[in-house]
Structure 1
Amino acid sequence: MCNPEESLLQVEEVFLATLDRINRQVLVPLLEDEPSEPQGREYQRLLQQLQKSSQQLREVTEKSLHSLRERLCHPDAVGLESVLLLCSAEHVLRVHVEYIESYTSCMVVQAFQKATKWRSEYWQVQRKALRPLLWGMSSEGSVGAALVQVLRQPLTYHVAQYVALLPSLVDTIGDHHPARELVVHTASLFGNLQSFLRQALDQAEATQTLWHRLSSRARDALCTPARRLLQDSQGIPVTVTPLRAECVLLFDDILVLLQGHSVHTFDLKLVWVDPEHDGCTFHLLTPEEEFFFSFKNRKDQASAVWLWKVTQAVCQALRGKKDFPVLGAGLEPSETPTCRSVEYTFRAEGRLCQATYEGQWCRGRPHGKGTLKWPDGRNHVGSFCQGLEHGFGIRLVPQASEDKFDCYKCHWQEGSMCGYGICEHGTDEVYKGYFQEGLRHGFGVLESAPQRPQSYKYTGHWERGQRSGYGIQDDSDRGERYIGMWRADQRHGPGVMVTQAGACYQGNFRADKMVGPGVLLSEDDTLYEGTFTRDLIFLGKGKVTFPNGFTLDGSFGSGAGSGLHTQGLLDTAALPPDPSNTCKRQLGLGSFPVESRWQGVYGPFRDFVCAGCPGDLKEALLGFHVQSSRELRKSQEYLCRERTPLDDSAGRMEDILEEVLRYHEPEALQQYLTKALSSSLHPLGMLLRTLMLTFQATYAGIGANKHLQGLAQEEVKQHARELWAAYRGLLQVALQRKGQAPEEEEDTETRDLQAHGLVLPLILPSFYSELFTLYLLLHEREDSLYSQGITNLSLFSDTKLLEFLAVQKHLWPLKDLTLTTNQRHSLVKDKCFLSATECLQKMITTVDPREKLEVLERTYGEIEATVSRVLGREHKLPMDELLPLLIYVVSRARIQHLGAEIHLIRDMMDPVHTGGLYDFLLTALESCYEHLQSDDMHRLSSRWNSREPW
């Protein structure tokens, strides 16, 4: 009797010879003729694949045979573990599986029967030659049926020999033999292969039988070489509701419901099996339909068989390959994966009709990240929830013109844009702001391309897709800016119009037109109160007040080419006017309450805090940042990645709230707020940046008009109050998350003190450029007189100026004047009180009013220290001594635009300093400023300059 190794050698020799004969007598002749019809070419392709698989099987068998011969010839030199069948068992197994799949694919579509018809006479002659390959089976029947057996029997017998001999090989080697585990593993693999082969053959036979039974229409729709029937309702009846199917077919890739001439197919990758069932019914979900499989008897296990097979088939389809060794085990069903990534094209009528979705799914609905594409070119990349766009997403909508798209980079909720978004339209318009139910709603900025002939920009509030509420619009074509109220996309309510020529109008609008009387301030400070045309031309009754105080009261009109004409009373006898009555007149105050101007900006933050600051809503409510705004040609995936990530260490809400608690003590609070307001990922920083945008839109460019200074300065103070309230909201949420008691609500006075004392100095730099420009324009006349005053005084030497200002001579620091040869005290300039002068000049190095006041306090200290040094004792300066010395220091410091500086400090000063030292020092500085611009000062300085030196 041969030992197992010798028997394996004989098995390999016989199988190799059989493969050679099959190739020579069957496969090569089958492939000799090239069929002309398309179906024949498909059969030819299957036979070619079978021959390729047969050749691979032959090669691996030959190598296995060679390794067995080496082992038997040199047992001492070649170990058992070097035998190919053992050391490369997985590879050998894979080659067998590929051959089985190629063979059964030909078998299912009857490729052998079809191929033999092309050369029927040849195969009739070859019938006798095939008898040795039939392994004792009858040769009756068609040649095609004989070929099926010729290719099937040798393989079946060969695998059975492996299964019989490998366990015998295990028995012949000791328990401690180094190759024992390898042999045991190989025996197990080929045992599984035998089960797989039986199942594959059974499924192929059942599938082949089914194709004969189906109508030609159904067969043409369903028949493919790789498809296998797993279950048929003819064998185990099932009722499907709501669709009454006559036949239910479960294949390894699709579920089929036959209803009359209709064939309904469902991709198993998109079939969800509900694990909950009552023994007689179970539930299936698909992207567009859902079914109930019902069975008559709970006891006959029909429900369990169908449930098990459908579940296992779905799992197998998702894996993309057949189960090995067999399809499942037992009747206990596993659960199908809830979440998957598959592509599907919707068929049912509706908004998704013919759209293709590729991405993540959950229980029959797009859920997670995915891409949705419509046939008309629309596509959406982003997040989905239960079948609807939900979360951040980017949608491209093609326009009629070539290469033009509307690009929506937005947050979505239940299929509609909701929250913050950026929309770039094919018309070169860009909208950045908030949406609700797909429409612009809340705060937003709509801007046209600058190169357009009639460019415009709107910054303000929207309601249901229309401008409504407080908003700012620039009309570049007319050179105008409108600041005021809107309704239904038209100017409606109180408004201020500023022109590029410097004119400023305030009045009421209705349906986009000026109605009723208004106020017009021209650039030369002429004031008109009355009615106007659209082009701000006087029309009707009105009153003009000229800068020199004259008034004209009457009726105004204009004729074609005749210019302005009037009929009224000109009053030239009026007293000289106070220039500040007209040139410093402020518009808009009272018409637009400061606390209600930018509710569309504050509102989303309040909503965010009220919701408990959820991290997943942070971006939708507070906005995101995109590095580049006009990149429509880039892929949407790139645009998604282009957003600044909000889940890093700097932007995670959990970390932000933790930090709020760590730094909410008074000594650390300023440090925390400074950091938070400067971060583009912190909610407070996001809010500040949006407020900066609104401020620039209102007061930069055309809006840099002195008559808007009042609006601007009260707006900055309101922003400080709102940002402090925002911080307090974050603190309360942080305390609640830690289970701590919230802090008591602040009263209005405390809230204002904190906002002015703590927040205002931190945010003022963000608004300073536009705000200070308004102060410059408003106080331009006073600053001009002040500049003339210090220019006159700059001609004085130090001693002459001290004498002119009536500074007592015992206070003069003459020791500070270092004289050169032939030089007198009266020729030296800019040396006295030099430390105080240099100190005061530092006022312009900061924008913080408190720091400016501290500079002023140090300047006063330097003056007093110099006087004390001169006197040789400590000396406190009374007001009558301080004022002339301070005038001297101010004139020598030569600070430009001192009036604008003083008024900004006064307006933005912390209220706690009112009536205190800082208030006193600022009042003294104001007095110096007024002295330096007075007419008396100018006349006296001119006369003193003509006197002999002191």
Structure 2
Amino acid sequence: MCSPEEGALLRQEEVFSTTLARINTLVLQPLLLTTPEPSDPRDRECLRLLQQLHRSSQQLWEVTEESLHSLRERLRHPDSVGLESLLLLRNADHVLQVHMEYFESYTSCVVVQAFQKAAKRRSEYWRGQRKTLWQLLSGMGSEGSMGTALVQVLRQPLAHHLQQYVLLLLSLGDTIGEHHPARELVVHAATLFGNLQSFMRQALDQAVATQALWHTLGSRLRDMLCIPAHRLLQDSKDIPVTVAPLRAERVLLFDDALVLLQGHNVHTFDLKLLWVDPGQDEYTFHLLTPEEEFSFCTKDPQSQAVWQWKVTQAVCQALRGKKDFPVLGAGLELPEPPACRCGAYTFRGEGRLCQATYEGEWCQGRPHGKGTLKWPDGRNHVGNFCQGLEHGFGIHLVPQVCEDKFDCYKCHWWEGSMCGYGICEYSTDEVYKGYFQAGLRHGFGVLESTPQAPQPCRYTGHWEQGQRSGYGVKEDRDRGERYVGMWQADQRHGPGVVVTQAGVCYQGAFQADKMVGPGILLSEDDSLYEGTFTRDLTPMGKGKITFPNGFTLEGSFDSGTGSGLHTQGVLDTGALPPDPSSTCKRQLGLGAFPVESRWQGVYGPFRDFVRAGCPGDLQEALLGFHVQSSKVLRKSQEYLCCERTHPEDGTGSIEDILEEVLRHREPKALQQYLGKALSNSLHPLGKLLRTLMLTFQATYAGVGANKHLQGMAQEEVKQHARELWVAYRGLLQVALQRKGQTLEDEDVETRDLQVHGLVLPLVLPSFHSELFTLYLLLHEREDSLYSQGITNLSLFPDTKLLEFLEVQKHLWPLKDLTLTTNQRYSLVRDKCFLSATECLQKIITTMDPREKLEVLEKTYGEIEATVSRVLGREHKLPMDDLLPLLIYVAARARIQHLGAEIHLIRDMMDPIHTGGLYDFLLTALESCYEHIQKEDMRLHRFPGCWEPREAW
């Protein structure tokens, strides 16, 4: 059974639906008939509002019809269709929203007097419709103007309808009982529509007050402030207030803006970017805006409370984007708007932000958090802000005169200036990657131009106050030379080394970018010149040339007017041939640039980071970042918030890293941890290693691959290993300090043991390619003789080679020495000491000096094991027997560049092995290497040895 209240709801919906249809036909559609479209902007705005009201009315009629349909279904089938099926109950929130949208459209029309203006445009029509309109308002209004009639006819039916809704729903709730399944729905709907009644009354009061406000303002102010969205909440004419220091004559609080009138000047403040700060007394409170701060003072505490509460409430509503529902009362607790918000603002005051628009996060009236700052001239900054200044990671674009050309700065910022690591791509196609301080390049950095640039070059090194200063490497691709040395004020200044593509090397002093005083010049054929030069490295003035054959030429040199070199001096041909190491292996730069001071710009920031306790917010500024190409950024301003790889991606936060450091302190675990950390480009240690690799390649790869720089390179690799161990110890110290523990001091002996035994083998592969190339170049002559010796020895069959090397026959691994030559050859061909040969060949499969020495030790063990099997007893080989056997194994192993391998092992091996077994075995291998180099000369004493191996 259906209740009488449901029947009353049905009749109410039928009446309301009919009323809405009549209003649409008789009122709304005629209001929209304005042909042609008004030319005045204000009239066009009125037309837009009426069109919006018409759409809202249509939606309200449609939802009323849906509600009517659900009521009819309920009355037809009361047994099968439950009460909860009624649209008013099951979808009360949607019905409420449609009513609110209609009333919002209606009040917007009221604010700008759209009904009155429309009535004037068709006054004759409305005079004929006067009687019809008052019939729609029967019993609800009184005689008045047509504008008044239109205002009431579009509001009163809705107000009456809502009143009936509430009464009927409350009555329905009383009749169904407390335990009815639909009771909660009925109570909820009655509460919603009751609140809607209060909301409509308040909204109408605000709209009427706002409409009345326009009549109190002059035409100029009215044109500026008369906006449909505005709703007047408070006027200082009603409750006086004094504003300092602006001295406003009138204060208007709208629901979206605070307006201060000062003569003909209008100061408008967006409520979303307005912060309320309670004052020190009960008469005053303060307001913060992006550019100004002012105080509101009242005559009594009650007025102050009203103004502060209304401003605060308005700010909260503006931030939420909607009015309070249900309506908040004045006695409720004062709301607290969030200190941090999002919004957009265009700065108008003088200064660096003049006319700039900031959109993003704010806090207490200042840009704070992530945001975008745009200037009218095209400058653009996207990133983090702190108290109004660029602070943290940010991307800054500066447009250039050329179309579509920008300087793009992807950097870390500190209080408005670039500070920390950054990548800057300039419109000239130059790119700088490195550190900044106070907006200038400062510390370690790399500046590189494109190969297509007029003067392509690359500088890797240190900067001070935007200029190259300190130790650095510059590659001049146009001249085909590289400078390694000291800089000052953007010029070469101090000791330096120049290497050219032609293989010429110079070491000397520079002052103001010019060579000064005497220097050393090494040519590709190892001729040595000591004296003064021109900028093109041509001998000029007094000097001395030492030729590879030992001859010397000392005197005065001049390029002359023609080609060639002119000299006046003394040629000495009586000197003995020099030791090849005096010229061929002369090393440059060792005394000029102490290895400890070369790359302080790389080590320094890491030390500062550790000294500060490894703060997480500085981790990225220290280590750099990966960022998408600026070409993408320049295509669209929308993608300026680049997606860059953060340090925590793949490695964890700095806290996680420090925890890992603590968990891996045992020797085996430490070795695995360091290997993993150094191989990870996002780990602090891995990032440091990759930066060091960059400096190494910049110095010693390409043009810098010169044999005379091998000593410098070897020093640097060892120094990098020491610094990486110090860096690890620094992380460990911070990790222990956070746990309230201390790190024991490490003596020099322990440090060196860890550096050579643990760190150096882990980092050497990162530098091996460039370093080994320098060893190859330095020992090219010896390796060439060695290769020729190997080629000659490979012509021998095994037995003849053993005989030639004077290996004692009882040590030969042959089954029966009485066999014929052909039988013996068939039996032992390529089998003598095969295990030792295969073992020695593994020396090139690793870059770790210790592992290479272990290979050598195993090779020695395989030789002794083979000899012991031949003799049938354990046998220890003396040096006289070991050396020819080792020569045999080395000859059969055919290891390329054995000299470079031996010297690399000797230079990089752990000092603890000096004088031990490894040192002895390496010395023996060196002797083999030297013997093989001389075999070409010895073979001339054996004319039969040149016969092919197959003839033996």
Shift of 1:61: 3.3
Query: Which whole-Å CA distance do the structure 2 matches of 1:117 and 1:660 have between them?
Result: 83
**Alpha carbons 2:627, 2:642 under 8 Å: kept:** no
Q: What does 1:154-553 align with in structure 2 at a 5 Å threshold?
A: 154-274=157-277, 278-298=281-301, 301-327=302-328, 330-553=331-554
Aligned residue in 2 for 1:942: 940
Moved more, 589-598 or 792-801: 792-801
Distance in 1 of aligned mates of 2:59 and 2:803: 115
Per-residue deviation at 1:657? Answer: 1.2
1:312–1:328 contact (8 Å) kept in structure 2:
no
How far has the Cα of 1:411 moved from its partner?
1.4
1:222 is displaced (CA, Å) by: 0.9
| Residues 56/624 of structure 1: CA separation in 2 closer, same or farther (3 Å cut) | closer
Partner of 1:841: 841
| In 2: Cα distance, 1:412 partner to 1:9 partner | 68
Distance, in Å, in 2 between the alignment partners of 1:544 and 1:17 is: 115
In the alignment, what sits opposite 1:36? 38
Moved over 6 A (4+): 816-821, 947-950
- State the secondary structure of the residue aligned to 2:734: helix
For residues 734-772 of structure 1, the C-alpha deviation after alignment (integer angstroms, 9 at most, x for no partner) is 1112222x2222122322221111111111111111111
Q: Distance in 2 between matches of 1:111 and 1:773?
A: 86
1:52 and 1:427 mapped to 2: Cα distance? 56
CA–CA separation in structure 2 for the residues paired with 1:224 and 1:692: 64
SS in 1 for 2:649: coil
CA distances 1:832-855 after superposition (whole Å, capped 9, x unpaired): 222222221211111111111111
Superposed CA offset, 1:306-325 (max 9, x none): 11111111111112122212
Q: How does 1:711-860 map to 2 (within 5 A)?
A: 711-740=712-741, 742-815=742-815, 822-824=822-824, 830-860=830-860
Residue pair 1:392, 1:411 contacting (<8 A) in 2 also = yes
Partner of 1:625: 626
Q: CA deviation at 1:821?
A: 8.6
Q: Distance in 2 between matches of 1:136 and 1:337?
A: 48
Taking a change above 3 Å as real, the CA distance of residues 562 and 163 of structure 1, as seen in their structure-2 partners, is: closer
Moved more, 818-827 or 479-488: 818-827
Write the letter of the residue equivalent to 1:308: W
SS at match of 1:177: coil
Q: Distance in 2 between matches of 1:723 and 1:817?
A: 59
Structure 2 residue matching 1:213: 3-state secondary structure? coil
Distance 1:872 1:137 in 2: 129
Matches within 5 A, 1:565-644: 565-626=566-627, 631-633=632-634, 635=636, 640-644=641-645
Q: Equivalences for 1:640-655 in 2 at 5 Å?
A: 640-655=641-656
Alignment deviations for residues 688-743 of structure 1 (CA, whole Å, 9 cap, x no partner):
11111111110011111111011000110000100110111111111112222x22
State the Cα deviation string for residues 202-239 of structure 1 (Å, max 9, x = none): 11111111111012111111111221101111111112
1: CA distance between counterparts of 2:366 and 2:97? 36
Q: Residue 424 of structure 1 contacts residue 630 of structure 1 at CA under 8 Å; is this kept in 2?
A: no
**Could you report, residue by residue, the CA deviation over 1:140-177 in whole angstroms, capped at 9, with x for unpaired residues?**
54321232233333332222232333222222222222
Question: Is the Cα contact below 8 Å between 2:483 and 2:497 reproduced in 1?
Answer: yes
Change (3 A) 1:842 1:630: farther
Q: Quick one: structure 1 residues 440 and 149, their matched pair in 2 at CA, closer, same or farther if it must change by over 3 Å? A: same
Specify whether residues 69 and 815 from structure 1 end up closer, same or farther in structure 2 by C-alpha distance, changes over 3 A only: closer
TM-score for the superposition, normalised by structure 2: 0.95
CA 1:643–1:636: 2 relative to 1, 3 Å: farther
Contact 1:135 1:153 in 2 (8 A): no
Task: Give the structure 1 partner of residue 671 of structure 2.
Answer: 670
Paired with 1:390 and 1:217, the residues of 2 have a C-alpha distance of 42
User: 2:190 & 2:641 partners in 1: Cα distance?
Assistant: 53
User: Contact 1:239–1:295 at 8 Å: present in 2 too?
Assistant: yes
Deviates most, 8-17 or 535-544: 8-17
Task: Report deviation, 1:247.
Answer: 0.9
1:25-72 deviation digits (Å, cap 9, x = unpaired): 333333333353322222222222223323333333344445445545
Whether the aligned pair in 1 keeps the contact of 2:817 and 2:824 (CA below 8 Å) is no
> Where do residues 850-889 of structure 1 align in structure 2 (5 Å cutoff)?
850-889=850-889
Q: What is the CA distance between 1:903 and its match in structure 2?
A: 1.0
Q: Distance in 2 between matches of 1:669 and 1:577?
A: 49
Question: What CA distance in whole angstroms lies between the structure 1 residues aligned with 2:366 and 2:819?
Answer: 93
Q: Is the 8 A contact 1:552 1:571 kept in 2?
A: yes
Q: Determine helix, strand or coil for the equivalent of 2:847.
A: coil
Residues 841/137 of structure 1: CA separation in 2 closer, same or farther (3 Å cut): closer
Counterpart residue number, 1:688: 689
Give the distance between the partners of 1:892 and 1:881, measured in 2 at CA. 17
Q: 1:488 to 1:71 in 2, by over 3 A?
A: same
Correspondence for 1:105 among 103, 108, 117: 108
SS at match of 2:428: coil
| 399-408 vs 670-679, which moves further | 399-408
The residue type paired with residue 774 of structure 1 is L
SS at match of 1:8: helix
Residue type of the partner of 2:843? Answer: M
Residue pair 1:342, 1:359 contacting (<8 A) in 2 also: yes
Matching of residue 915 in structure 1 with residue 918 in structure 2: no
Give, in whole Å, the separation in 2 of the partners of 1:250 and 1:281: 17
701-710 vs 236-245, greater mean Cα deviation: 236-245
The sequence identity of aligned pairs, in percent, is 80
Q: Deviations over 1:889-928 (max 9, x none)?
A: 2222222222111111111110110111111111112222
Alpha carbons of 1:452 and 1:829: their partners in 2 closer, same or farther (altered >3 Å)? farther
The answer for the alignment partner of 2:122 in structure 1 is 119
Distance, in Å, in 2 between the alignment partners of 1:379 and 1:816 is 89
Query: Does structure 2 conserve the Cα–Cα contact (< 8 Å) formed by 1:19 and 1:58?
Result: yes
CA separation of 1:865 and 1:224: change in aligned 2, threshold 3 A: same
| Amino acid aligned to 1:174 | G
Flag the 1:635–1:405 CA change in 2: closer, same or farther, 3 A. same
**Separation of aligned partners in 1, 2:858 and 2:141:** 119
* Superimposed CA distance per residue, residues 519-573 of structure 1 (whole angstroms, 9 cap, x where no aligned partner): 0000000100000001111110000101110111100112222431111111111
Larger CA deviation: 226-235 vs 349-358: 349-358
Displacement after TM superposition at 1:5 (Å): 3.6
Contact 1:604 1:622 in 2 (8 A): no
**What amino acid maps onto 2:867 in structure 1?**
V
Distance in 2 between residues matched to 1:569 and 1:413, nearest whole Å: 64
**Residue identity opposite 2:304 in structure 1:** S
The alpha-carbon distance between structure 1 residues 314 and 462, as it changes in their structure 2 partners (threshold 3 A), is: same
Distance in 2, matches of 1:495 and 1:659, equals 43
The answer to whether the Cα contact below 8 Å between 2:620 and 2:646 also exists between their aligned partners in 1 is: no
Which stretch shifts more, 803-812 or 874-883? Answer: 803-812
Check the 8 A contact 2:647/2:683 in 1, yes or no: no
- How far apart, in 1, do the equivalents of 2:114 and 2:306 lie? 32
Moved more, 141-150 or 219-228: 141-150
Distance in 1, Cα, partners of 2:10 & 2:867: 119
Query: Aligned with 2:16: secondary structure?
Result: helix
**Counterpart AA for 1:335:** E
Aligned partner (choices 39, 56, 59) of residue 56 of structure 1:
59
Q: Is the deviation greater in 36-45 or in 274-283?
A: 274-283
Question: Larger deviation: 186-195 or 806-815?
Answer: 806-815
Q: Unmatched 5+ residue regions in structure 2? A: none
How far is the alpha carbon of 1:136 from its aligned partner? 4.3
Q: Which residue of 1 aligns with 2:151?
A: 148
TM-score in terms of structure 1 length: 0.95
